[in-house]
């Protein structure tokens, strides 16, 4: 929580009704499940996993004259599923195949549509932004794995 008082530019103390408050709430929720099965011990195995991560946020603003407006909420959501099979050729090496699906959804008013450079009407660069727009995505990953232990 954040409390503050507003002051005028002339340095005169603001009236008592200019007090405002910000209640910022951010959470982090995470869950993971994994199943590992050795169909043929020391030879053939399978793994399946699921990951879930969600970070919602809210920004509630209030002041005495009730003119404050809440900021939009934020949400970062990531989900992933992985399937893997592995086979031991001999004692070493091990080969495997892996498929993963991942989805990431980002909703954040403060990181959408940020330009890299702002220019004036004459074409002069007036600002370089250090932030970056966060983009949602969905992806499938395929991998072949060779593992050798020493």
CB contact burial 34-63 (16+ within 10 A = b; e otherwise): eeeeeeeeeeebebeeebeeeeebebeeeb
Task: Please report the sign of the dihedral spanned by the C-alpha atoms of residue 126, residue 131, residue 133, residue 138.
Answer: positive
pLDDT, greater one: 69 or 102: 102
Q: Could you give the C-alpha distances from 112 to 58, 97, 126, in angstroms and in order? A: 17, 37, 20
Phi, psi of 84, deg, nearest 5 = -140, 140
What are 121's two structure tokens?
Answer: 């009407």
Give me the pLDDT at residue 61, please: 86
Choose the weakest-confidence range: 11-20, 61-70, 96-105, 119-128: 11-20
Phi, psi of 17, deg, nearest 5 = -85, 10
Query: What is the pLDDT averaged over residues 49-67?
Result: 90
Question: How sure is the predictor about 84, in pLDDT bands with cuts at 50, 70 and 90?
Answer: very high
Q: Which of 87, 85, 132 is nearest to 110 (CA)?
A: 132
Average pLDDT, the chain: 83
Q: Does 93 score more than 90 pLDDT?
A: no
Q: Tell me the pLDDT tens digit for each residue of 106-135.
A: 998 877 766 666 666 676 666 666 666 788
Q: Does 32 score more than 80 pLDDT?
A: yes
Residue with token string 């994994």: 34
Q: Does 99 score more than 60 pLDDT?
A: yes
Phi-psi region of 11 (alpha: psi -120 to 50; beta: other; left: phi over 0): left
Question: How sure is the predictor about 41, in pLDDT bands with cuts at 50, 70 and 90?
Answer: confident
Pick from 26-35, 83-92, 141-150 the range whose average pLDDT is largest: 26-35
Q: Does 9 score more than 60 pLDDT?
A: no
Give me the pLDDT at residue 95, please: 94
8 A C-beta contact, residue 96 and residue 86: yes
């Amino acid at each position: 929580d954040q409390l503050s008082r507003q002051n005028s530019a002339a340095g005169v103390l603001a009236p008592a009704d200019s007090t405002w408050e910000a209640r910022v709430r951010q959470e982090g929720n995470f869950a993971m499940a994994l199943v590992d099965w050795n169909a043929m011990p020391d030879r053939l195995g399978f793994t399946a996993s699921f990951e879930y991560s969600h970070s919602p946020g809210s920004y509630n603003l209030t002041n005495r004259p009730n003119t404050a407006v809440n900021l939009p909420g934020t949400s970062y959501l990531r989900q992933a599923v992985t399937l893997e099979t592995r086979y031991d050729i001999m004692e070493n090496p091990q080969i495997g195949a892996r498929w993963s699906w991942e989805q990431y959804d980002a909703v954040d008013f403060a990181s959408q549509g940020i330009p890299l450079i702002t220019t004036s009407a004459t074409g002069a660069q007036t600002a370089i932004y250090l932030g970056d727009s966060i983009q949602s995505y969905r992806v499938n990953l395929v991998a072949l794995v060779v593992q050798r232990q020493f």
